[in-house]
Amino acid sequence: GGVITIDPGYKNTGSCESAITFLNGEKGVLRYRGYSIEELAEKADFLEVAYLLIFGELPTKEQNEKFHDDIKAEAVVDEDVKKIIDAFPKAAHPMGVISSLTSALTAFNPSTVDVDSEEDMYNSVVRLLGKFPVLVAWTFRKKSGLPLNYGDNTIGYVENILKMMFKKPNGEYEQNKILVDALDKLLILHADHEQNCSTSTVRIAGSSHVGLFASISAGISALWGPLHGGANQAVLEMLEAIKTDGGDTKKYMAKAKDKSDPFRLMGFGHRVYKNFDPRAKIIKVAADEVLEDLGVKDPILNIAKGLEKEALEDPYFVDRKLYPNVDFYSGIIYRAMGIPTDMFTVMFALGRLPGWIAQWREMRLRKEPIGRPRQIYIGATERKFVPIDER
Ligand code: CMC
C-alpha cells in the first residue's frame, strides 16, 4: 500500500545504508572505510585495499599474509573450464566471456554460501579473489593465441596478474615495476564506488539469496555497458577515431553538444561528481608518469588532453558540470601496458571485484530484504481476449 513515487535512474533514491564507501560529489571526495582515495592510491597495495573494503579494517601484517596465502591457494580453476573457454569464438567480447566464466564457477565450486558462518563467508571471498584473475588471464591469452597456464605463487597479487597475462609460451617474462605499480594504483582507484549500476546489480541479484559468483556475474554484465565501465573502451575508440579523422577535436566537441546526434564525449560526466572526479585527477598524473617512464609517446594522450582542455572551457560542459571521469585516462595506461582495448572493461572488473564482494557481504550480513521495486502501471485497462483468426 501507500503512495508510490517514481525516480527513474534512482537519481534521488537511497537503496541501502552502507559503511563501505563515502562519496561527496559536490566536493569530489571519495573514501573507502574512511581512508581517502588519494592516500590509499599512494600508500596501500590492492590486496590491502580489498581486505579493507571487505572486512572493514586495514589488515595487520599477519592478516595480510594469511589473506594473500589463502587467495594463492585458490588460484586454480577446474580443468574443464578450459573447454568452456575453447568453445568461445575468438571474436567474443571478453566481458561476455568473463561474465559467463564467473557464472560457470558455480558448476565447479560450492554455489551457495552459508552467510551465518564466518568461515564459509571468508572461504568464498578468497575463492573468488583467487580464481577471478586466472579467468581474466585465460580470457586474454585465448584471444591472443597464447597457451593457458598458471601464474607464480611466489610473487604479489598484482604482479602475478600481469605475469599470468603476459608470460611467453616458453615461460619467459620480464617484470616491469612501473607497470606493476601503475596497475596496482588503477585497481585501487576502481575498487569501490558505492551504489553505482553494477554494484546495485550485485546487491539486488544477491538479495534473492543466489550465491556470490552468480551475483558477481550479474554485476559484470551491468559493468559492460558504455555508460558505465564500458566507457573506458569507448574512450579509446573515440580517441582513435579522432586521430584517424585528422585530430580535429573541435568537430567531436560539436558532435557531443549536438542534441540531434547521439554521440557523447565518452569519459565525461558523472551522475554524482559535479565538480571533479578525484580518481580521474590521480589517473591523469599516472598516465603522464607511466608514459614518460616507459618512454612511450602516444599521440592519443595529447588528443585526450586537448579534448579535456576544450571541454573544461566550453559553456555546454561547464553549465552541465561535466568533468573527465575515471574512464577518461585509464585506457591510455592500459594501452601502454599492452592490454588490448576490448580488455579494458575486464581490467575494471578486476579492480571492482573487492567492492562488489564487500557490498554483497554487507547486504547479506545486514539481512536486507529482497530487492523488489514497485512501478506505476501505464498500460491498457482490462480487455477481452480476441482469438487469433479474428485479429
Ligand atoms: N557528453 C555530452 N553531453 C553529456 C555527457 C557527455 N559525456 N554526459 C552528460 N551530458 C549531458 C546530457 O546530454 C544532459 O544534457 P541536457 O541536460 O541538456 O539534456 C546532461 O549532460 C546531464 O546528463 P544525464 O545523461 O542526464 O546525466 P546522468 O547522470 O543520467 O548520466 C553519465 C551520467 C555518466 C551516464 C553520462 O554523463 C554519460 O553518458 N557519460 C559518458 C559515458 C561515461 O563516460 N561513463 C562513465 C561514467 S564514470 C565510471 C563508470 O561508471 O564506469
Tell me the pLDDT tens digit for each residue of 48-71. 999 999 999 999 999 999 999 999
* pLDDT, mean of residues 87-110: 95
Give dist(CA 219, CA 12) in Å, integer.
21
Whether 338 shows a pLDDT value over 90: the answer reads yes
Could you tell me if the CB of 235 is within 6 A of ligand 1? no
Q: How far is CA 137 from the centre of its chain?
A: 16
Angle at 339 between CA 108 and CA 214, to 5 degrees: 25
For residue 155, how many C-alpha atoms fall within 13 Å in the half-sphere facing its CB?
16
Domain 17-225+341-365, CATH class in plain words: mainly alpha
- Find out whether the beta carbon of 195 lies less than 6 Å from any atom of ligand 1: no
Nearest atom within ligand 1 for CA of residue 11: 29
Categorize the per-residue pLDDT at 112 as very low, low, confident or very high, splitting at 50, 70 and 90.
confident
Q: Is 269 in the pocket of ligand 1 (CB under 6 A)?
A: yes
Nearest CA to ligand 1 atom 44: 267
Residue 300 has pLDDT above 80, yes or no: yes
Q: Where are the domains of the chain?
A: 17-225+341-365, 231-336
Residue 111 has pLDDT above 80, yes or no: no
CATH fold of the domain at 231-336: Cytochrome p450-Terp; domain 2 (1.10.230)
- What is the set of active-site residues? 270, 327
- pLDDT recorded at residue 2: 82
Mean pLDDT of the 346-373 span: 98
Helices 231-244 and 249-257 sit at what angle, rounded to 10 degrees? 130
Measure Cα distances from 181 to 120, 333, 357 in Å. Answer: 32, 11, 23
Nearest protein Cα to ligand 1, atom 26: 271
**Sole residue written with cell 567474443:** 92
In this structure, the strands spanning 21-24 and 35-36 are unpaired
The 10s digit of each residue's pLDDT in 180-213 is 999 999 999 999 999 999 999 999 999 999 999 9
Computed over every residue of the chain, the mean pLDDT equals: 95
Q: Whose CA is nearest to atom 39 of ligand 1?
A: 227
Does ligand 1 lie within 6 Å of residue 200's CB atom? no
pLDDT of residue 310: 95
CA of residue 17 to ligand 1 center, whole Å: 26
Residue 131, pLDDT score: 97
For atom 24 of ligand 1, which residue has the closest CA? 271
pLDDT value at residue 1? 61
Question: DSSP for 39-64?
Answer: HHHHH--HHHHHHHHHHSSPPPHHHH
Query: Where would I find the H helices in the chain?
Result: 37-43, 46-55, 61-73, 80-87, 94-108, 118-143, 157-166, 177-190, 197-206, 212-224, 231-244, 249-257, 278-294, 299-313, 315-319, 327-336, 344-365
Confidence of residue 147 (pLDDT cuts 50, 70, 90): very high
Residue of 237, 322, 327 with the most ligand 1 atoms within 8 Å of its CB, for mutation? 322
Give this prediction's pTM.
Answer: 0.96
Reply yes or no on whether the pLDDT at 110 is more than 90.
no
Q: What is the pLDDT of residues 7-34, one digit of tens each?
A: 999 999 999 999 999 999 999 999 999 9
